[in-house]
Structure 1
Amino acid sequence: MDVAFVTNVVYPFVTGGAQKRVHEIGTRLADRGHDVTIYGRHYWDGPAEMAHEGMTLRAVADAADLYEEEGRRSITEAIDFSVRLLPPFARQVDDHDVVVASVFPYFPVLSSRLATLLRDVPLVTVWHEVWGADYWDDYLGRLALGGKVVERLTAAVPQHPIAVSGVTADKLARMGMGPRRADIEVVPNGIDVDQIRSAPLPDTSHRRDGEPGFDVLFAGRLIADKRVDVLLDAFDRVAEAHDATLGIVGEGPELDHLRERAAGLSNADRVTLLGFLDEYEDVLGQMRAARVFASASTREGFGISCAEAMAADCTVVAADHPDSAASEVVGDGGFLVDPTVEAFARALDDALSGARPPTPPTTRAERFDWDAVATRAEERYRRAVDGEVDDPDVETGATN
């Protein structure tokens, strides 16, 4: 197959879950003999079109800032990329057998659909999240109507949809304007199990306690939905009894608020905010060195950090919430609890006392290895190229 990926940002030049998925699947498809081209912004050094790890990178727009001052993704960036994408992509789309476009943002999907409209080239979409009305209201306020319309319009265009989780697939189907649930295949995000297990342990020479790692770790973007404040308060209740430490990896708009909150804890000296770690392997090393990975996040399109932590053999404590797919990832390889201070404190107490889940975390993590994920994605792309229609009586892609 000749596969074209559309993503405004390209890994590893800009890090992030959606672009990493394209990279990991794309490189594996290239290794298997497929032709792979990525259309994106010119974030890399070198010419606008160049070979990279067996794939072709093709820049259709210059690099641009992805976030506004308020910490929100830039709408103007997404529109600009989509406008710049359409002319060159429409000229070259016939060179490809299938187009794979990431959702979010939405506008590049619409441009991809316009480019394929009069061609016999199927469009596969990858839905990482579905926001819905309530979240748009919180995110954009008076501009929320525009976001709702564009999301629903994107769902309505003819496409071969993939969702990264059952939660996301269900939300997409419930919109009513897009595909049926039976037509949405779940192909989860993935992890490199071998890379995680071999990641170098962190340098702890600067640590006051001299311990190889934190007893409890969180890693993720510091936004309100991650509920790091719940984790802080829960940890404070059990820290002294277990002589435990907490490390928080990440940055985001909640950073200053969380610093203040951590400073006010009874066990403030046991909490370290490490900020953003430039090297991905440094995050993995922190996971390998930790005993427990905890996330009270109530909104996860997938929950990649939980999968990574399980591969690192952490005992995972995660929120059980209808808007989070973390429960699909963790399953019986960790502990799922209500996202409240009381519930998390009890779960942390149990985990720090040595409790382990029914299924070893490392065993659970293996189903999300990128090799297995790439095979499922490849099969989906092939069916789109062959024009096959999914059997509505067949359940697709449950990850539990």
Structure 2
Amino acid sequence: MRVAFVSNVVYPWVTGGAEKRIHEIGTRLTNRGHDVTIYGRHFWDGPEEITHEGITLRAVAPEAELYAGERRSITEALDFAVRAVPPLRRRLREDEHDVVVASVFPYFPVLATELASLRTDTPLVTTWHEVWGEYWEEYLGALAPFGKLTEHLTARTPQHPIAISEITADRLAAIGPDRERIDVVPNGIDVGQIRNAPLPDRGYDVLFAGRLVEHKNVDLLLDAFDAVADDRDVTLGVVGDGPERDRLERERDALTHADRVEFLGFLDDYEDVLGQMRAADVFASPSTREGFGLTFAEAMAADCTVIAADHPDSAADEVVGDAGFLVDPTVESLTETLDAALGGRRPPTDPLNRAQQYDWDAVADRAERAYQRAVAGSW
């Protein structure tokens, strides 16, 4: 099978979740004898076409800034989409690929890929990491109708859709394809890498890792931890950065047990994050909006007791199941469960066993079958 991925960002030069997913699935497909090509921006040194870990990287646009302030750049996304059409269309007309896989966000590459594949027999597979819906209001404000319209148009583009979680699949079905046509292939982790990550010089009893934005509800965790710390000699580490950091640090400074809470910022080395998870007893993230929740899977593989928020906008319940604890996103509920977990309470299912289903090898199996169904026209 000859698989083409279309993504403006390319791992490991850009290290976000979507591009890492392509890399992990792509390298496993090449190891199984498939031919894999990524059409992306020219982030690497050297010629426009190189082979990296068995994957052909083909630059169709120069390197560019991805963000305008805190938001992804619309101009960059449009520029990449326009530049990608001619070379991709030429290769598809030459029947070079059996299937093209496009990551949905930031949407325009999907529309460009559909345009490039017109009048060819090459199926388009899309990977939906989230469906934003009303979140566009918070993200774009007055420009939210533009974001919603683009999302709806993308959802209605002829495609073989993959969602990374059941909740994302349900949201996609509400604006586009029939639910039974949407396959679910989750994001993945390297269980072996997590289990062997080096332990840090200093660990914490409770850990949070993620972007410091409002819906992560780190302020609830700070208050719950402070209440539990009245009776327990415990520490809290907060890994990550974001627009809420200054406010959260001020809230930390007002806690009774502020000296037991440390903000570690963004850790450049991924294994440092994994090491912190291995050192922690409890991983707590009361986030109310998670398209998947990769940190929960990572923390389970690190044998943490996971505490997550039970919320209709979060896929945490899908990821964690009964291998962790789900709480209402309130200080009271989080305090009660955090105290019990620190007291030795463990979930019914072994977190390590649960984490195995998210290992990249298992995820690549599911992705491979989905791509083969698209090629066979049996979706």
TM-score by length of 1: 0.93
For 2:242 and 2:44, the matched residues in 1 are separated by: 24
For residue 247 of structure 1, what is the aligned residue in structure 2? 237
Amino acid at match of 2:122: V
Q: Deviations over 1:251-303 (max 9, x none)?
A: 11111111111111111111111011111111100000010000011110101
For 1:220 and 1:227, the matched residues in 2 are separated by: 11
Within 5 Å, give how 1:321-340 maps onto structure 2.
Answer: 321-340=311-330
Q: Deviations over 1:60-110 (max 9, x none)?
A: 1122222222x1111111111111111111111231000000111100000
For 1:229 and 1:115, the matched residues in 2 are separated by: 46
Cα shift at 1:203? 2.5
Within 5 Å, give how 1:1-400 maps onto structure 2.
Answer: 1-69=1-69, 71-93=70-92, 94-132=95-133, 134-175=134-175, 178-204=176-202, 213-389=203-379
For 1:74 and 1:239, the matched residues in 2 are separated by: 42
For 2:23 and 2:87, the matched residues in 1 are separated by: 22
Amino acid at match of 1:92: R
Cα shift at 1:223? 1.1
The gaps in structure 1 that reach 5 residues or longer are 205-212, 390-400
Determine helix, strand or coil for the equivalent of 2:161. strand
Q: Which moved more, 1:142-151 or 1:257-266?
A: 257-266
For 1:197 and 1:344, the matched residues in 2 are separated by: 27
The gaps in structure 2 that reach 5 residues or longer are none
Cα shift at 1:45? 2.0
Task: State percent identity of aligned pairs.
Answer: 70
Amino acid at match of 2:256: S
Q: Which moved more, 1:80-89 or 1:25-34?
A: 80-89
For 1:237 and 1:372, the matched residues in 2 are separated by: 40
Amino acid at match of 1:39: Y
Cα shift at 1:2? 0.4
For residue 395 of structure 1, what is the aligned residue in structure 2? none
Amino acid at match of 2:74: I
Determine helix, strand or coil for the equivalent of 1:333. coil
Amino acid at match of 1:113: E
Cα shift at 1:249? 0.7
TM-score by length of 2: 0.98
For 1:11 and 1:219, the matched residues in 2 are separated by: 21
Cα shift at 1:46? 2.1
Cα shift at 1:359? 0.3
Q: Which moved more, 1:378-387 or 1:224-233?
A: 224-233
For 2:311 and 2:340, the matched residues in 1 are separated by: 20
Determine helix, strand or coil for the equivalent of 1:242. coil
Cα shift at 1:125? 0.3
Determine helix, strand or coil for the equivalent of 1:309. helix
Cα shift at 1:240? 3.1
Determine helix, strand or coil for the equivalent of 1:95. coil
Cα shift at 1:148? 0.5
Amino acid at match of 2:227: R
For 1:63 and 1:203, the matched residues in 2 are separated by: 37
Cα shift at 1:200? 0.6
Determine helix, strand or coil for the equivalent of 1:130. coil
For 1:113 and 1:248, the matched residues in 2 are separated by: 42
Q: Deviations over 1:204-235 (max 9, x none)?
A: 3xxxxxxxx10000111111111111111111
Cα shift at 1:324? 0.4
Cα shift at 1:353? 0.5
Q: Deviations over 1:304-326 (max 9, x none)?
A: 00000000000000001000001
For residue 392 of structure 1, what is the aligned residue in structure 2? none
